[in-house]
Amino acid sequence: MAMTVRSWVPAEEAKPAPMPLLLVQSFVNTWDGDRGSDLLLDPTAAWAWLTQAGLWTAERAPEPAELQLARSVREAIRAMLVANSGGPQPAPGDLRPLLAVAQASRPALQVSLGGQVSLGPDPADRPDAGVLTLLLVIRDAQRDGIWQRLKACGNPDCRWAFYDRSHSGVGAWCDMATCGNRIKNRRLRQRQR
């Protein structure tokens, strides 16, 4: 099967979600705790990534406030993924950035020439309305029953978003060889102390 190369998906994505949920996963993984890197910090880098991912359409780089919103939306989604992996439910304030996006933008209904009906950000809306796409993808994944499989790694220093394809749906680590064993060893050491 031919794989589509998507420049906005991290090269090391070992447990990718199906499209379009992969978009939400890659958005969350623009922050890499392991490397301490953040693709949504520098306006030029963020502009490139957001444009490639189809989340930004303006002919200019995002303003600092727009990037701030994108990063806070990202952490709100991550809080939901922590809950998906059996962690605590998001605190009331955690999801505020998502509410702000939902209230500031109105999705537009579109019909393609082929008769495909879709919902997306209004092209005439503010450029940062592109993140509304993420909310629509989340809604569809929740309706389709696959949302619970997009999780945040159980290692608090990692929190990488991964798609749990395990039959039982109880996967807890982005990668058992690194994070899983690291946490297990740490717990073992704590018990031995």
In this structure, the chain runs to a length of: 193
- Contact with Zn ion (CB under 5 A) among 155, 171, 172, 183: 155
Q: Which is nearer to Zn ion, 56 or 160 (CB)?
A: 160
8 Å CB contact between 117 and 138: no
Of the candidates 54, 43, 34, the residue with the CA atom closest to the CA atom of residue 157: 34
CA atoms within 13 A on the CB side of 163: 18
* Residues binding Zn ion: number (CB under 5 A): 6
| Beta carbon of residue 162, minimum distance to Zn ion (angstroms, whole number) | 8
- Contact with Zn ion (CB under 5 A) among 23, 158, 161, 172: 158
| Beta carbon of residue 160, minimum distance to Zn ion (angstroms, whole number) | 5
- Selected range binding Zn ion among 38-46, 74-82, 91-99, 147-155, rule: CB under 5 A: 147-155
| Beta carbon of residue 31, minimum distance to Zn ion (angstroms, whole number) | 13
- Contact with Zn ion (CB under 5 A) among 101, 160, 172, 183: 160
Q: Which of residues 168-187 bind Zn ion (CB under 5 A)?
A: 174, 179
Instruction: Supply 180's token pair.
Output: 């899983």
Q: Which is nearer to Zn ion, 111 or 177 (CB)?
A: 177
DSSP 54-115: TS---SSPPPHHHHHHHHHHHHHHHHHHHHHTT-PPPPGGGGHHHHHHHHH--EEEEE-TT-
Q: Which is nearer to Zn ion, 20 or 87 (CB)?
A: 87
State whether residue 184 is helix, strand or coil: helix
- CA–CA gap between residue 186 and residue 189 (Å, rounded): 5
Contacting residues toward Zn ion, per CB under 5 A: 153, 155, 158, 160, 174, 179
